[in-house]
Structure 1
């Protein structure tokens, strides 16, 4: 998958006359964003994290955690069905003239770090698959190729983007079709003894097991990500209070089944000892069944999907700070456009150049920092936001979704995010702390200059 990003109308209302999305469209938007190139590039990382096929536990635990978090997103999306998602949830829950201003700013600030990393993870994964067609490429060459793809995409988006919608559909067909082809091939050649050949002491409950499970779960969360896509489009959904929760909560189990099937298909054909060290595990898998031709065909399909996924991710990520800046809620420089006025020049340049630079970082580090940073701030803060909004509005609005068994899903989600963070590497945690600290300092400097909260003359009032 790729990071869920908002569209051009991320913060605000959709243009007049824009067609509204039905439930089918909402579900499709979620699933198309969830089913990206992620599983094609992360299966070896999960296997390496746990040292065997017990890595499937990470995918299962990730699905459970995402489903509980899905309840949080579903309730927030139903309570505040507005385009921009988290920006509005955090501002409203924590006070739009108080702490909510800081949290809204930090969410946008986070996008400047997470956006380039998400884009780079796709192009770095794409470069890894090139090694199947062209063995012997050095790490620096692969990084240069990945960065070049980012810069090419920057150039493409500086011009005409009218074909992006068609490209999105075509890419989704390629990705889903490839997944079904892989699963069907694996089912025909499935060897249960190979798939479940656990190493000695695979389930020994010790510190290494919990650390490995945390890393595998983090990878699973990365691949499931995107179930919140429709929350970013709240203004454009028919009956949003009902359809947003349905789209969120149905997309997660559907994609989980697809991903578990994908993992089992590969493990049932390739020995996990080989798969965990593969740079292009799906190509190796298809080559084992169909020979080199099968490997080449699936590699080309994945390369196309990876490129298009990175292109669309750059498109979405560049619009978030641009839309916020135009609304006066972010750094004004990000509101600048090109000479024609149809491209968010500064925002697109920043995201494109930063993503190219991020290609120097390893794939596992990109994924880990992305999830840890989002978990430490946005995902944790949203769990608290649900509680605050319930206290502010004890009675649900007509047709509004309220999660069952409240507050159990919130507690499980918070525990899951805490587990992922505490099992992460200290450097990744430090990146999250630095993001929050630097963003907070910048917000306070801007607030002091403009005499806004917490430096305003009058005490901020809650909604």
Structure 2
């Protein structure tokens, strides 16, 4: 069943996405950040406890995913939690969710573009290449959502293939690792691969381990060590890892373009999340077995390049993971720009952003003005941003607050729309609040400031309308 796009002045969109399209967009939105940025940062913070941080982020994402799926089934319209919050909690809650989503995902787009450039060219040209990537992928989005899904399918296939091949090479490298004579094992022992276990770092091991940029965890004494300190640092690592999971609900922001939304949206969200969580957990465990970053300065934005070097892989393997990284980040960026533009569209429809942004294309049935505005904002950040990891944590701040509102909204649902127990919504809400509090100090300060600006803007607009 499908509906055609209405006139451009109504801002109507067309239902064209099937279940497999929706799952692919969700996968393309997640795979990239986790494998090529966040996994390395998590291990830099907590060493062997990095898989625990992945699991914690996945648990919070599960609570959020069930809330989002339940809400999207009842309210299958563009805008995601901005729309859900408006319907279930009121306009101020909806605005808070929409504003947090827009600022968080614009930061995500900038981070992905910079990651692509970092793999392709040396430092002097990276910002220019990142800007060109933004322009090209925005152009793809501007000619229709079905083309977005088709390109996302190609990119996510390339990325997953590269990651699986790299994982296999790391397993082989670990299995045939040379024996250190000081270990006193005979070369014919058959347990050569197990000798690497003695070099696996413990929690907070390595020069880069520990809290990054302090934050509330530092104020609570995480830097003093002990069980409580380690737990707080694991939470910070989980907050950074959450960035890698956030794409599971991207299809909810495209709810107005999905066929049979009540059935398709929940299934797509949960399938995509389960697949990516399993992939991230396996990759995180592999990084732990590889050991600490060989440079002693952390894994950086390309952990698997360093990991392949550690096990003696050659230039061909470096090329494989580079292609995979670029494809993954490009796929994530493609879906991110689409999701941000749909939220801008929904906010403009309600007057929370300038109403001209609600206009969509007659020919392609996409919100072209919103797409262009989102791309321009990302271009500004690409040219001004100084650190990919800072962009990631800024994105986590906005997205975690966005999902906190989603959990509150889902908690109020009843009757036929209640698909999951309320305990999952409570788990998601508490998890979001805890992970926000665990973020680095700079991200907390900047995030609170941007939220305050958005709320002040809405207050001024409403006052002007009343007068």
Under TM normalisation by the shorter chain, which class is it? 0.7 to 0.9
Is 2:321 the partner of 1:301? no
Counterparts in 2 of 1:194 and 1:69: CA distance versus 1, 3 Å: farther
Give 2:444's match in structure 1, choosing from 401, 406, 429.
429
Name the residue aligned to 1:187.
171
Residue of structure 2 in register with 1:313 after alignment? 336
Q: 2:54 aligns with which of 56, 59, 63?
A: 59
Q: In 2, are the aligned partners of 1:380 and 1:417 still within 8 Å (CA)?
A: yes
More off after superposition, 200-209 vs 429-438: 200-209
Give 3-state SS (helix, strand or coil) of 1:437's partner: helix
CA RMSD of aligned residues (A): 3.5
- Residue among 88, 110, 121 paired with 1:120: 110
Report how far residue 154 of structure 1 moved: 5.1
Question: Is the Cα contact below 8 Å between 2:28 and 2:155 reproduced in 1?
Answer: no
Asked whether the equivalents of residues 140 and 148 of structure 2 are also in contact (C-alpha less than 8 Å), the reply is no
Aligned-pair CA distance for 1:196: 7.5
- Judged with a 3 Å threshold, the aligned counterparts in structure 2 of structure 1 residues 198 and 431 are, in CA distance, closer, same or farther, namely same
1:21 aligns with 2:18: yes
Distance 1:423 1:196, change over 3 A: farther
Structure 2 unaligned spans of 5+: 1-7, 175-192, 206-224
After superposition, the C-alpha distances for 1:395-443 in whole angstroms (9 at most, x for unaligned) are x22xx44213x3x222222221222122222332222322322222211
* Separation in structure 2 between the aligned mates of residue 352 and residue 281 of structure 1, nearest angstrom: 28
- Alignment of 1:82 with 2:62, yes or no, is no
CA distance in 1, matches of 2:350, 2:86: 14
The 8 Å contact of residues 308 and 317 in structure 2, kept in 1 or not, is answered as yes
Aligned residues: 418
Bigger drift between 339-348 and 295-304 goes to 339-348
Kindly tell me: are residues 164 and 321 of structure 1, through their superposed partners in 2, closer, same or farther at Cα, counting changes over 3 Å? same
Structure 1 length-normalised TM: 0.78
TM-score by length of 2: 0.77
Whether the aligned pair in 1 keeps the contact of 2:404 and 2:432 (CA below 8 Å) is yes
- Worse-superposed segment, 271-280 or 431-440: 271-280
List aligned pairs for 1:33-44, cutoff 5 A: 33-44=29-40
Question: 2:67 pairs with 72, 82, 91, which one?
Answer: 72
Give the Å deviation of 1:30: 2.7
For 1:388 and 1:128, locate their aligned partners in 2 and report how far apart those are by CA, in whole Å: 44
Of 346, 365, 368, 2:393 maps to 368
2:412 matched to which residue of 1? 388
Give structure 1 stretches of 5+ with no counterpart.
1-8, 95-99, 391-395, 456-463
1:445 maps to: 460
* 8 Å Cα contact 1:41-1:281 kept in structure 2: yes
